[in-house]
Amino acid sequence: MAKTQTRYVCQQCGRVSASYMGRCPQCGEYNTMIEEIVHAEPVTKGKSAVRGLTGRSQPRPIGEVSGDKEDRVPVPIGEFSRVLGGGIVPGSIVLVGGDPGIGKSTLMLQLALDMATGQRVLYVSGEESERQIKMRATRLTTGTDGHPPMPPNLLLVTETNLETILNHVRETQPDLLIVDSIQTVYLSELDSSAGSVSQVRECSSQLRELAKSSGISVFVIGHVTKEGQIAGPRVLEHIVDTVLYLEGDRFQAYRLLRSVKNRFGATAEVGVFEMRERGLVEVTNPSEAFLAERMVNAPGSAIAVTMEGTRPLLVEVQGLTSPTQFGNARRTPNGVDYNRLLMIAAVLTRRMGLRLAEQDIFVNVVGGLKIDEPAADLSIAAAIASSMRDVAVRADTVLIGELGLAGELRMPGQMMLRLREAGKLGFKSAIVPKRLRQGEPWPKTLEIIEARSIQQALELAMALERQKPQGRETA
């Protein structure tokens, strides 16, 4: 068989070249030339490695297409199931991204072990040997009842050649295929090395074709670069049905599994896990976990209620101001957006008269969480102001509200969900923006304190707390 021909195509202007060029001679852009396979015949007759598996497509009247809700295969890991939208859709392809070492392989192996009780699972690894995976599996399953037997339906193989992997799939006929990771697999017909843009793109397209034509569910792991992009092309995210990110602070135990794209469910859904000795353990009540180590009545701490997908989460926001030693005052956010922090600091300076220009400001979201919701503005502002004045924010109060440049407070969405969650966790009151229109009555479980502006809100938040002793207790 003749070797498949490849060519280099500029992704900006479409210029074709036989060899790689760092700069496109036509449009002048750098690093836009990407290797592609040349299909000698029309694509329909081209010989792709998965052709052997595919049936022919057949147009049908819409009425005859079975349109029941997709049958989902339930996933025993509740938090995982929630992020997927209620189970695995057969024939779907899911990308699990995240920084190296965050726990992607661990999560996938746990999924494989759990699913293999009812389904056939093929776990292909290009990163670790079968022995290493076995050792990890032993570690994950060692419980109080000693070593339970390994599920016979979980097959392991170390392989990076995609054609060989597809052969294994043909022979073993799994229900679920896991590929760890997309950056290690390659097609021999492409000249470029594994992990390159063209390899990642071609391999994931073929895996997608496999999923669609055979009904096998495919999970691919992808590493994320420092800049937070899945290494390889963004197109990878377009090829797959669902993109999940496993994120969290490497030095913290909590891991968030977030869906950023989902053709079969809600996006921005979040599952919370904790990395323990024996793998990732679900955290079913994350708010409680995030607040567990809080120092009540310490200045510089405020409780925000953010929405992660459809789920409200209570998190502690800490602020610290400290006189600037030399030069410019620094603003160091951890878990909140830098520009958002600058804006909040500016509003506090201009509307509250706080002299923050001579202060370094540190803001930290406890638990390694990232909040990118304006609804947390008020609690960030309160944490900073509280540290600056050395007065604690009322411990039994949550603060919800978006901050405007004039110092006014705006109502974020999903207020009822947020307030109910706060009530459930034992908070007594909530400081919220003043309602200008009549809406659903506020929940009864909580005292609702409405404030028009940041001044009002902070006066209310820091009232009463001056005399109380400082102590380490949990809310």
* Binding site residues, Mg ion, CB under 5 A: 105
Q: Which two tokens stand for residue 239?
A: 């090829």
State the minimum distance, in angstroms, from the CB of residue 229 to ligand TYD: 16
227/277 with CB nearer ligand TYD: 277
- Report the side by side order of strands in the sheet with 93-98: 154-158, 121-125, 176-180, 217-223, 93-98, 242-247, 254-262, 270-276, 279-282
Give dist(CA 319, CA 230) in Å, integer: 32
Cα-only R_g, the chain:
26
CB 253, min distance to ligand TYD, A: 8
User: Which residue pairs from 10-19 have beta carbons closer than 8 angstroms and sit at least 24 positions apart in sequence?
Assistant: 10/34
- Interacting partner of 110 out of Mg ion, ligand TYD, none (Cβ under 5 to 8 A depending on kind): none
In the complex, the smallest distance separating the C-beta of residue 180 from Mg ion, rounded to whole angstroms, is 6
In the complex, the smallest distance separating the C-beta of residue 365 from Mg ion, rounded to whole angstroms, is 27
Q: Dihedrals φ, ψ of 362, to 5°? A: -115, 135
**Is the Cβ of residue 128 or residue 402 nearer to ligand TYD in the bound state?**
128
Residue 102 site contact among Mg ion, ligand TYD, none (CB < 5 to 8 Å, cut-off depends on kind): ligand TYD
Please state the closest distance from residue 294 (CB atom) to ligand TYD, in A.
25
106 binds, among Mg ion, ligand TYD, none (CB under 5 to 8 A by kind): ligand TYD
CB of 198 to Mg ion, least distance (A): 23
Pick 75 or 409: Cβ nearer ligand TYD: 75
Q: Which does 98 bind (CB under 5 to 8 A by kind): ligand TYD, Mg ion, none?
A: ligand TYD
Residue 247 CB, nearest approach to ligand TYD (Å) = 11
Torsions phi, psi of 98, nearest 5? 160, 165
| Cβ burial, residue 171 (10 Å; 0-12/13-18/19+) | exposed
Is the Cβ of residue 204 or residue 386 nearer to ligand TYD in the bound state?
204
Dihedral angle of Cα 130, 134, 135, 141, to the nearest 10 degrees: 160
CA angle 35–38–41, rounded 5-degree value? 165
**Separation of alpha carbons 223 and 208, rounded Å:** 18
Q: Which does 220 bind (CB under 5 to 8 A by kind): Mg ion, ligand TYD, none?
A: none
Q: Of 295, 310, 428, 426, nearest to 366 (Cα)?
A: 295
Residue 394 contacts which entry, ligand TYD, Mg ion, none (Cβ below 5-8 A, type-dependent): none
To ligand TYD, the closest distance from the beta carbon of 162 in angstroms equals 20
Closer to ligand TYD by Cβ: residue 136 or 263: 136
Nearer to ligand TYD, 178 or 432 (CB): 178
Which residues contact ligand TYD (rule: CB under 6 A)?
98, 100-106, 136, 139-140, 275, 277-279
Quick one: 105 or 204, whose CB is closer to Mg ion? 105
Among residues 87 and 103, whose Cβ is nearest to ligand TYD?
103
Tokens of 187: 């097609």
Among ligand TYD, Mg ion, none, the one that 100 touches (CB under a kind-dependent 5 to 8 A) is ligand TYD
* Rounded least distance, CB 246 to ligand TYD, Å: 7
Cα–Cα distance, 123 to 178 (Å, whole number): 5
Of 201 and 255, nearer to ligand TYD (C-beta) is 255
**Whole-number Cα distances in Å, 303 to 35, 336, 387, 395:** 51, 14, 14, 8
Q: What is the DSSP string of 373-417?
A: -GGGHHHHHHHHHHHHHT-PPPTTEEE--EEPTTSBEEPPS-HHH
Report strand pairing: 359-365 vs 311-323: antiparallel
* CA-wise closest residue to 178 among 105, 100, 97, 76: 105
